[in-house]
Structure 1
Amino acid sequence: MLRAGDVDTLPLRDLGRRIAYGPDSLQFGELRLPTAPDEPRVPIAIVLHGGCWISSFATVRNTAPLADALTRQGIATWNVEYRRSDSPGGGWPGTFQDAAAAADYVRVLARQFPIDTTRIVLLGHSAGGQLALWLAGRHRLAATSPLAGGMPLPVRGVLSLGGVTDLEEFAKRQPNGCGRGVSALLGAPPDSVPSRVREASPILRVPLGVRTAHIAGEDDRIAPAPVQQAYRRAAETAGDSTAVIVSVPGGHFEVIAPHTNAGQTVVGLALAAVGRSPRRSPPGSSPR
């Protein structure tokens, strides 16, 4: 099975255009635009990498191959960097504010580039899956929440790639692994800050009102099937009837490696979310 470092070494055809969405050195994204687009304005995928909300675990390089593959299929991509819990200003509420600011910045990008802001899909891997699901529902936050603000754009759907959907469950299941990042993200252990858990944990933010798909490897220990199914039950009970679970070969990182069957499945689902058909080249084809 692939490791994070394996994905970081995958080659890229397009390195992307680095654009700041805020003043901090970590508040930037990589914008990739399709070459020879076949429509006046192209859909866009907002991509959020994982890494346990800890800066040493992953960067935008980890999701760059997936963003690159999506762009070759006619979708603009905004691969977002953000402050993590161990970065100055990150954690609570800075990490969430960065994700929100980056998503809102798509409006600015659309003034300069041919981007269709009515066709947005969110993709998040691992901890980024938690942020992607949170972004889709942040318009329902109370005005008094420190996470509220901005002008959320409507999205067509969310793809959670081995995503963390229940912060409390994850912190208990992996207390010595990636789950230890939850307390740092929230600023305290989950059981001591229930209001923050309610505002941040995807399973408690339903209904989203948009289609969600949860794609994870058959051997993914971050997002095992029972956890995905628990999210779907919660979403359906709340009124979301469109939570889809897709099991693919591999572990936690195959879903962001576009040359794998899992990665090609993700690309296909992203295309479907924004109403595009695959181009002639294989959806996940990548130079080797």
Structure 2
Amino acid sequence: MQYEGVLRKMRTEIGHPIQYYMLFEDDFLNVNQVLDKTLTIHFIKYQCLNCGENRPIYRQGFCKSCFFDTPSAGDWIMRPELSTAHLDKEDRNLEYEKKVQLQPHIVYLANSSNIKVGVTRKTQVPTRWIDQGAHEAIEIVETPNRYLAGITEVALKDHVGDKTNWRKMLTNDVDDKDLVEWRNTLKPYIPDEAIDYFIASNSETNLEFPVLRYPKKVKSLNLDKNPEYSGVLKGIKGQYFIFEDDTVFNVRGSEGYYVGLEIQ
């Protein structure tokens, strides 16, 4: 089987295990069906997710000029506390920013390699946890906008991490934690503006990834340095492919790369 198209973040579907899909312009691939088969990835060109031009990808699937222009790459994406739509104040495009920022957001705890705090739109639960490779997660605050979620995350970062050790996550070197206990421990540090949105009575969500074998020591595939790679797919976790030779490939980190895929 052969596929061709621009890489985007894989779509996911909750299940036991989670189902992964790659979407192309005229086709799609259920990646779970490729497990234990040889997958060849061939880099063909760049295709910016905004302008569509064959320009080197700078960040988040965008060429450099689009990254600093498109509203979907504003600083508030990575730093929710910088959101200003609730003040009717524009960053790059107020209409877009209101659409994204002025909707319910979740502050959560996720355990991928360690416990971390994060923010996502309510509609992105549990997708965000899956993308981070979390094997367990829990909502702790639900706010009406992105700004309140952002300042809550900033306050809690003084007491719990906000980064995932992706290498540790991919080797499955993780411990189960009592996230309900952690939620209650962190409650006193929630800002006054957001404390009314604290979620006091929920349980953690557990996630199962389609992995046949975890790598012992990960080797990252970079398509700029190695434009063609072939290996037996042994698992999918987060947004990563895991291959038999311990090579891992970050699909989301390669958004905007136009590739050919061959499955044998």
Rg larger in structure: 2
Structures share a fold, TM > 0.5?
no
Larger fraction in strand: 2
TM bin (shorter chain): under 0.3
Larger fraction in helix: 1
Give me the TM-score of the superposition, normalised by structure 2.
Answer: 0.27
Higher relative contact order, structure no. (Cα contacts within 8 Å, ≥ 6 residues apart): 2
Give me the TM-score of the superposition, normalised by structure 1.
Answer: 0.26
